Amino acid sequence: MATLLETYRGTVYPWHCDHVGHMNVMYYVGKFDEATWHLFNRLGLSRRYLAQNARGMAAVDQRIAYQRELLAGDVIVVRSGILEVRDKALRFVHEMIDAATDEVAAITELVAVHLDSEARKATRLPDEVKERARASVIEYALPW
């Protein structure tokens, strides 16, 4: 069984924070999105592959559990893993960690569909991508 991979490392900046003083939800989603592209790149779903093959990836389901606040100056790490490989889709998880305390700040589960960007419909993932994804499958206890 594979383990979670580090797919993002960054900092919470003051402009990421809302009127309550903690990182606003839009920035959790943004940082998770950056982690997604790092994960996809490792699987072979790079920008170059997508552009050269008229393909795209679209999130069709996302759930987030906020576990603890993040404040300006906090350094964060996102670790990611594949939960399920389908013919045309991937289900995966990201956990956002406070790097100073190693506490989980948020967890998100996503389903992304592989698209034919010209036909605008789901299409099969390449076999080599599915093989890499299957090698990365983890067991993960989601909070829902």
- One pLDDT digit (tens) per residue for the chain, 144 residues: 689 999 999 999 999 999 999 999 999 999 999 999 999 999 999 999 999 999 999 999 999 999 999 999 999 999 999 999 999 999 999 999 999 999 999 999 999 999 999 999 999 999 999 999 999 999 999 999
Residue-level pLDDT at 1: 63
| Of 123, 118, 63, the residue nearest 89 (C-alpha) | 123
DSSP 8-state code for residue 14 = G
What are the structural domain ranges in the chain?
Answer: 5-135
Query: Given the DSSP bridges, would you call strands 55-66 and 89-98 parallel, antiparallel or unpaired?
Result: unpaired
What is the 3-class SS of the chain, one letter each residue? CCCCEEEEEEECCHHHECCCCEECHHHHHHHHHHHHHHHHHHHCCCHHHHHHCCEEEEEEEEEEEECCCCECCCEEEEEEEEEEECCCEEEEEEEEEECCCCEEEEEEEEEEEEEECCCCEECCCCHHHHHHHHHCECCCCCCC
- C-beta of residue 35 within 8 angstroms of C-beta of residue 43: no
Phi-psi region of 34 (alpha: psi -120 to 50; beta: other; left: phi over 0): alpha
5-135: CATH topology: Thiol Ester Dehydrase; Chain A (3.10.129)
CA distance 109 to 111: 7
